[in-house]
Amino acid sequence: MKPIGVFDSGVGGLSVLAALRAELPHERFVYFADTAYAPYGERGDAYVIERSRKVTEQLIAEHGIKALVVACNTATTAAIHLLRAEHPALPIVGLEPALKPAVATSRTGRISVMATRGTLASAKYAALRDSFAGSADVRAVPCDGLVKAIEGFDEEAISLLCARYMAQAGPFGDTAGQVDTVVLGCTHYPLVKNELQRHAPPALRFIDTGAPVAQQTRRVLASLNRLADGEGGLRLQSSGDHALLEAAAARWLARSPSPQGTTASAA
């Protein structure tokens, strides 16, 4: 009954947490939003590695987590290999832009990947993209400022930025030369999927990693005989304003504010 740790630079990982809770309803989760040090996606690798290490160490020390989900594409690309090397007994599940299912489902062979600059500039993403060379035309769309707008509940900025980046991701359609699939390569972006869809034809496919990550987490825990069978639960923690995290959870997880959540510095 030890909890599963989940962390992101902010509230974006709530999209992954929602999928995890649906897939694993009997598990207890500790979600850590590193909002005092966000956004990761517009920082260098050294910065992201340092923060990922500190948050991971705190989740282990305070909660004795039995597994860790790195619910952040940028932290996965920059730090997950180091986290696994430093904590070999801890199962760690990470994220990567969902290019494989996108290529498998695209009919036009043209795909746009919306992500942070940190993810798109990483060697891990380049290797993933290059593995599909010849199978699809993959266009990168760096979405500067969108994470910050989502974190700040800035509806005007969200609307403007979604319109701008969807225009860059197109043209959309089901004929040759048109994009028919968009990969949401940042965990924040599924939270504003409805706004993104306003600028797309109904047939456009959006693909994110929440459900596949939840399914992989279940497989890993089952293989280690670590699946829980009791009552599930959730604890929220943040290195920044805890009230903002509670508000985000209430909005995107249909969760009422809870006194269980505590602010933690991970300093």
For the question of residue 162 being annotated catalytic, the response is no
The one catalytic residue in 120, 186, 192, 249 is: 186
Between CA 97 and CA 125 the distance in angstroms is 8
The one catalytic residue in 72, 98, 138, 158 is: 72
For the question of residue 72 being annotated catalytic, the response is yes
User: What residues act catalytically?
Assistant: 72, 186
